[in-house]
Structure 1
Amino acid sequence: MAQAGVFLEQDQFNCSICLDVLKDPVTVPCGHSYCKGCIKGYWDQDDYLGIYGCPQCRQSFAPRPVLGRNTMLADVVDRLKKTGLGSSSALSEAPMSEPTFAEPGDVECDVCTGRKNKAFRSCLVCLASYCETHLKPHYESPAFQKHRLTAPSSKLQDSLCSRHDKLLEVFCRTDQHCICYLCLTDEHKGHDTVLASAEMTEKKNALAEMQRNSQQKIQEREKELQDLRQATQSLTLSAQAALEESERIFTELVCSIERRRTEVKELIRVQERAAMAQAEELLRQLEREITELKKRDTELDQLVQTEDHISFLQNYRSACTQPVTMDIPGITVDPGFGCVMSAVSEFQALLEDVCQGGFVNISEKVKDVTIIQNTKPNMDTEPNAALPPVAPVTFPVTPIFQNTFGTAAPTFNGFTFASFASRPSGTRLRTQQRRRRR
């Protein structure tokens, strides 16, 4: 395990072009380091393009960068070589991990026979994939020094030009195709071309910007979703509270009207009993007085018919005495509770006005309660963003009274209601006239 750790640490000082320990290391502007000879040979192939790229990160540079020796890295490599771990022989003698057989979906080694091992690297020059055992010649033999190794891939043929069988390393912006260097002198001559690595960097930057915008939009939508959920929960709780409060208030209102109905009924009964008691007392007095007057009339008749002078004269004085009669108060010939019915009718009209105005006000307030403000969507960016129209909320003003002149009015616990709207047109005017007369 310790030796494997040394191998991994030493591998950090290998050139990614020749895959050997760095020789005369130089660092390009993007920060990656290569053998001076390797990177010069790599860039010599791009002289006719005038654009030079990093083999690892594909960042492009123009003009060709001036290469300077990386003194610190060179000292580290020299010390590594002095320990005996930096030579190719030491590298070849470094223990390798046990071969891993390829599983379904893995890239297989193209050299293995029988059961194939899992590929460790793919070569863009050989157009083949190798396991760690068969990749060893690419590390040891100078013949493979210029070969380019990449991560294992099963689609190496897709990296070749179909016409020239050369590696696709250039992107034609005119035709939006990947091409090889030979295509630049053929059908793509004079086109707007750039290194594929440079085009990838540019497009990745564009994708990064799109991703940032998308993530920002996602955050905005998540915030709006959270606000909408909170609004719906708040609306549900508020609607429930409004229902309970309106139920309580209307129950109290019904109970209040019921109490007033009972009080009016009791007032009428009390007044009826008081008036009847007064009338009955006067009736008894009148009956007694009539009885006395009839008795006196009988005595006068007897006195008129007597023939005894002495008896007549003795009784005449008492018969001439006028009986005491009571003062009779004024009596209404057609008494009734018509004024009470008028007062109840006025109360009915007033209550109808209040109820109708109150219901209209409540209906307007109910329609003002909404979560989504109906705004016109941007049809250019969001053509399908139109929300379904919200049905207008109407608060039906149900007649709670009915005209007593027409069909039978609905009753509540014996109390009859009549609709203000179904009243005769002159009812309110007559009510006001009655008020002025009183």
Structure 2
Amino acid sequence: MKTVLSCNLRELGLSNFTLQDSVVEVLSTGLGSQHCKLEILRLPFCRVTEEGCDSLASALTSNPSHLRELDLSYNHPGDSGVKMLSATMEDPDCRLKINIDHNDECWVKLELLKKYACDLTLDPNTANKHLSLSEGNRVVRYEIEEQPYPDHPERFYDAFQVLCREGLTERHYWETESTDDVVLGVTYKGIKRKGSISNDFVIGHNDKSWCMEYKTHFCHNGADIKVHPFRNPSRHRIGVYLDWPAGTLSFYTVFSDTLTHMYTFHTTFTEPLYPAFGLVNCYPCSVSLCQVE
């Protein structure tokens, strides 16, 4: 790492790598070298704490003239880390701009979210006819054979999707367990249920809905953000935290009572949001609503 920074490299992005402070310390050693010409360093989602910020601040003090952009969003610098980095910008030779946004979302504790846990049930009137509901309408599975559901104006006909009964405002948290090939999200009730244009009714592909696709993509109205896949058992929990008043929708992996932030949408919500699920046409594709304890 130090050798890389001693060359003529101008830009380095390490987003979503779990570097932690020990690796950031090595990185900072190279950054402080007079031979380092790096101008842009991006470290979002790298689990950097105030200890790592201390190392970075020391490096920037040693070599203040080159780095002009430092992205530490979605980390945990703490107040002291922010102060240390901000102090480096007081140097007249420093041209640095620092991004430290959204760190609270990344490091929220599971215990804090549990107080917003909500009970959700799947709405059979919205379920596509190839989806079966069970266990008190808390589990949905794809079925090859159509289910004997009656026609209903709220039913999805051209996509294997289902909504929950509950329309949510305020703050809410829920968890799901699923196979990898699913879509998890939220939507306004007014999303179309069928039509010739798939984007009108597919969750996450219009201005009425937001989603996580296949645990690697986050989609809304044509925007598609890809994140690095994570390593966990094939069936594991995803936590979703909706802060409706603040306009945020956050997704986390939940493993051994530990939250790992995946992505957060930032917007302004104007209507109640309905948790939504999409499945692919293969067996055994399924989603379960979990009891949050």
Normalising TM by the smaller chain, what interval? under 0.3
Return the structure number with greater strand share. 2
**Higher CA-based Rg:** 1
Higher relative contact order (CA 8 A, sep 6+): 2
Return the structure number with greater helix share. 1
What's the TM-score, normalizing by structure 1? 0.14
